[in-house]
Chains A and B, each alone.
Chain A
Amino acid sequence: SQKIEQNSEALNIQEGKTATLTCNYTNYSPAYLQWYRQDPGRGPVFLLLIRENEKEKRKERLKVTFDTTLKQSLFHITASQPADSATYLCALEKGYSSASKIIFGSGTRLSIRP
């Protein structure tokens, strides 16, 4: 079965630096790979989606890469701010229908110190 690993449980970096989070998967290549942000006691919020035929996607200070050979996605936050502190979840989706299931990684807790 598909296994997802996010590089570290927690990441602590200085404000202004680039935060890089890693997501590795072990089995089939997903049709889509998504990144979500989750704040304590809240539901996840969608950030970015990248398709299997795309290598990179950007949105403002966020950048996601997708390497199907390495079975890895990297999530970057440039010019990080304390407000970026949250848990970031990587999620994989296998199929293309509305009922396709999404499998979530365990998340990386990111802390940005002023």
Chain B
Amino acid sequence: GAVVSQHPSWVICKSGTSVKIECRSLDFQATTMFWYRQFPKQSLMLMATSNEGSKATYEQGVEKDKFLINHASLTLSTLTVTSAHPEDSSFYICSARYLRATGFGNQPQHFGDGTRLSIL
């Protein structure tokens, strides 16, 4: 269980193109999804927290007009990199989590397999 699907897995496009990345929770409803960026041999850097039905919360230094996030349903969040430039080339990873229905304690994040974005 707890499968998160991310699509596409690899994108190569020209500078100035907008790219949309989808993140789906396949077998559970995700109240919250997270978008991360990872550079080679570095850790995951949180870009934004996406909550279903409300605006995303962006981390400091992340341009919300550049990285548009939409979380229209409990199983789908999208990240659109608008007017992408070579410096936007990176590995983008989403994750999803849900609250435990009973008991206490939080749930781990379940990650997609990432999207390698290369802007020429």
Contacts and interface: CB of A to CB of B under 8 A. Distances in A.
A101 B49 contact: yes
Contacts of A89: 43-44
A51 B44 CA distance: 22
Contacts of B108: 34, 46, 49
Interface residue SS majority, chain A: loop
A32 B104 CA distance: 12
Interface string A25-38: 00000011010100
Interface residues of A, number: 27
Interface of B: 4, 6, 31-32, 34, 41-44, 46, 49, 51, 57, 91, 93, 95, 97-99, 105-114, 116
**Nearest 10 CB-CB pairings of A with B:** A43-B111, A46-B108, A106-B43, A104-B43, A98-B32, A104-B44, A98-B31, A43-B113, A98-B99, A43-B93
